[in-house]
Amino acid sequence: MSDLPKAGTVLCALTDLDATGAKGINLGGTGIFVVRSDEGVFGYVNSCPHIGVPLDMEPDEFISDFGDEIICSTHGARFRIQDGECVSGPCTGDVLEPVAVKVEDNQVVLA
């Protein structure tokens, strides 16, 4: 993660999360995504802890149909949005690697 750009780097506009609740971003070869819930905006490395594949099969599709969990499109593992912990699937108990993000002036930036 040390190869990510510096804090304050703009990742996307907050409105970019409106359509799907999440957005995938490539930062210098590292795939990350940001996701919004009622509790705030969270960032994670786009890699399933089970087998290391990206979570999204379609661009920006990270959220379950119910809108309350991150889902791995490869094998259906489900992760809590707020802390990235896997609550269902072959990697139950594992966690997604967090990326510190915050909202400034309606932009999602690295914290």
pLDDT digits (tens, 9 = 90+) for 20-78: 899 999 988 899 999 998 889 999 999 999 999 999 989 999 999 888 999 999 989 99
Identify whether the C-beta of residue 99 lies closer than 8 Å to the C-beta of residue 110: yes
Give residue 28's pLDDT.
82
The answer to whether residue 2 scores a pLDDT higher than 70 is no
pLDDT of residue 66: 84
Measured between alpha carbons, how far is 103 from 111 in angstroms, rounded to an integer?
9
Residue 87: pLDDT band (50, 70, 90) is very high
Query: What's the predicted TM-score (pTM) here?
Result: 0.93
Could you give the CA distance from residue 62 to residue 20 in angstroms, rounded to a whole number? 8
Query: What secondary structure does DSSP assign to 3-50, as a single string?
Result: TSPPTT-EEEEGGGGTTTSEEEEEETTEEEEEEEETTEEEEEES--TT
* List of domains in the chain: 10-110 (2.102.10.10)
Q: What is the pLDDT of residue 3?
A: 66
Residue 101 pLDDT more than 70?
A: yes
Output the pLDDT for position 91: 93
